[in-house]
Amino acid sequence: MNAPELIVHNGKITTLDAARPQVSAVAMAGGRITATGGEELLATAGDKTRRIDLNGRRVIPGLNDSHIHVIRGGLNFNMELRWDGVPSLADALAMLKEQARRTPPPQWVRVIGGWTEFQFAERRMPTLEEVNAASPDTPVFILHLYDRALVNGAALRALGYTRDTPDPPGGEIRRDKAGNPTGLLIARPNAMILYASLAKGPRLSLDDQVNSTRHFMRELNRLGLTSAIDAGGGFQNYPDDYRVIEELAARGELPLRIAYNLFTQHPQGELADFSKWVTQTSPGKGDDFYRMNGAGEMLVFSAADFEDFLEPRPDLPPVMEEELARVIRLLAEKRWPFRLHATYDESISRFLDVFEQVDREVPFKGLRWFFDHAETITPRNLERVRALGGGIAIQDRMAFQGEYFRERYGQAATEHTPPVRRMLEMGIPVGAGTDATRVASYNPWISLYWLVSGRTVGGMQLYPEGNRLSREEALRLYTAGSSWFSGEEGKKGTLAPGELADLAVLSADYFAVPEEEIRGIEALLTFVGGKIVHGAGEFGPLAPPPLPVSPDWSPVGVYGGYYRAAAGGTAIRRGCACPGHRQVWSAKGSRLWGPGCDCFAF
């Protein structure tokens, strides 16, 4: 028997493997797990075996987000100022002001999702006056969920929005009494005005997109992610916008396993898109790091079940059934797995009518398909999903929008949005994720916190105990559960011999910390295929070399990604960009400062 290449030991290792659920050591070779057990595994080491003492840390299987827009998010990450987790509006505005100072023309400052006003101590949105005061000259675009965007005067000029600009289909340009745009863009009845306006901003160069994508994947590794299922996205064209990720895959530089879905971009041209794609590629094409997964989450635009809980539920047009049936029939004939964005039960009922009709003509016969989101799905429609062999990928959008949902629909309707416990009791495949980056944050620990506590990021109790999960159940949805959605169950999701060697060593014990501390967990060490892709804390010396950040004005070079809080509430930041200065920042009120310099004193 060959000696393992790597043994990690002296840990509290949760395997999620029924045969050996808790061990203290794992051996790896050839990118896979070769054995699990105790300290006796050290006796199997050879002269070249690497040994890593885990110092008693909790270890889990690598996390797998079953619905994230990682490819689009990567192309834009280096341009975005992330407010994910920032505790106060004062801090957020201070970050905005400094980034506006650093951003050269004609670039914009973008705050694109991942935050809600309920996370702020002030419990409110920024005003347009505050945004304009923070950045009078540099264009600013702030996306709030999928309901609105705040743009300053400079951005209005860059967009060309004046009193003579008509409201576009699917949106409203809010105006003052004189008819001039105020800077508030409203999604009504869908987010097209938000997408289209954002798309008018400058893009990164190809080299910077490569750097940006690498930084985003490393950020996900920092949080313990080792796999992701990309759900496509608006303005994410195939194959053009897949060039960067495919280049990195071809070079063997992906630190994250990605299965991707194809998302149609052309209203009235959806069938033509999929008819072309089924001749260009096929599900499963690729390898364990980068593989094609199927169709969706947009299949036809008439089925766009938009989730703006500040607005009434949308009624889908009468042509939806006919248009959707044509696409589903093609996918069933070509044996393409598919996924479909579905928020409301009323829409789900109509979608299932179509699926059942097509199934009678072209039997699904085990074809893998699933709904995304399904916040208000009823028991009757859960039965129909199960009968057709479907699954449901859930995300923590309610952690960011739950306050809005409860205000419109009431507490009773809120308590099962979505009915996760019922799904599991019925044996429906369920995977967990975030739907990042434009609504919820990409931080998986926020999603795990939401599943366990039933609370929003603002602290509102959404769910009774009966619709909350144990910590192990929630973790299983984020690992083995999500593997079903890319057809990789048995290959990843548990730490069992023969499975991929993907695991995360945590900064705190997920199974022991108070609920509120779950959302502050990070990975101190992340392995993908038995290779270290992230290291921090006591494992920092094991980390791969740091990446440069480009362009040099990128917010990532200063703020990093998700906001991190140190003991005592001091905000830890990436550090001052000036040569020779310390790499730790503190937040004191609304003033950010780098010790030893006044570069960011404002």
Q: What are the boundaries of each domain within the chain?
A: 72-202, 570-602
Q: Is the peptide bond before 283 cis (omega within 30 degrees of 0)?
A: no
Is the bond leading into 545 cis (omega within 30 degrees of zero)?
no
Mean pLDDT of 30-51: 98
Quote the CA–CA distance of 411 and 390 in Å, as a whole number: 29
- Number of Cβ within 10 Å of residue 594's Cβ equals 21
Tens digits of per-residue pLDDT, 362-413? Answer: 999 999 999 999 999 999 999 999 999 999 999 999 999 999 999 999 999 9
* Region for residue 324 given its phi and psi (left: phi exceeds 0; alpha: psi -120 to 50; beta: otherwise): alpha
Question: For the segment 260-272, what is each residue's pLDDT rounded down to a tens digit?
Answer: 999 999 999 999 9
Tell me the backbone φ, ψ of residue 271, rounded to 5 degrees: -65, -40
Q: Are 564 and 222 in contact (CB under 8 A)?
A: no
* Mean pLDDT value across the chain: 93
Give per-residue pLDDT as tens, 573-589.
434 443 333 333 333 33
Cα–Cα distances (Å) from 448 to 1, 429, 433, 454, 472, in that order, read: 39, 17, 9, 10, 10
- What are the tokens at 437? 């980056």
Which residue is associated with the tokens 């893998």?
A: 368
Answer positive or negative: Cα dihedral of 487, 493, 498, 503: positive
Tell me the mean pLDDT in the region 311-323.
94
Architecture per CATH, 72-202: Roll (3.10)
State pLDDT tens for residues 420-450: 999 999 999 999 999 999 989 999 999 999 9
Give yes or no for residue 6 having a pLDDT over 60. Answer: yes
Percent of the chain with pLDDT over 90: 90
pLDDT for 504 beyond 70: yes
Each residue's pLDDT tens digit, 84-123: 999 999 999 999 999 999 999 999 999 999 999 999 999 9
pLDDT reported for residue 579: 37
Measured between alpha carbons, how far is 522 from 504 in angstroms, rounded to an integer? 9
Q: Give the rounded distance of the alpha carbon of 548 from its chain centre.
A: 23
Residue 599 has pLDDT above 90, yes or no: no
In angstroms, the Cα distances linking 415 to 220, 418, 420 are: 30, 8, 11
Note whether 290 and 253 are within 8 A (CB).
no
The whole-number pLDDT of residue 170 equals: 80
Tell me the whole-structure pTM to 2 decimals: 0.94
pLDDT 10s digits, 178-231 = 999 999 999 987 888 998 999 999 999 999 999 999 999 999 999 999 999 999
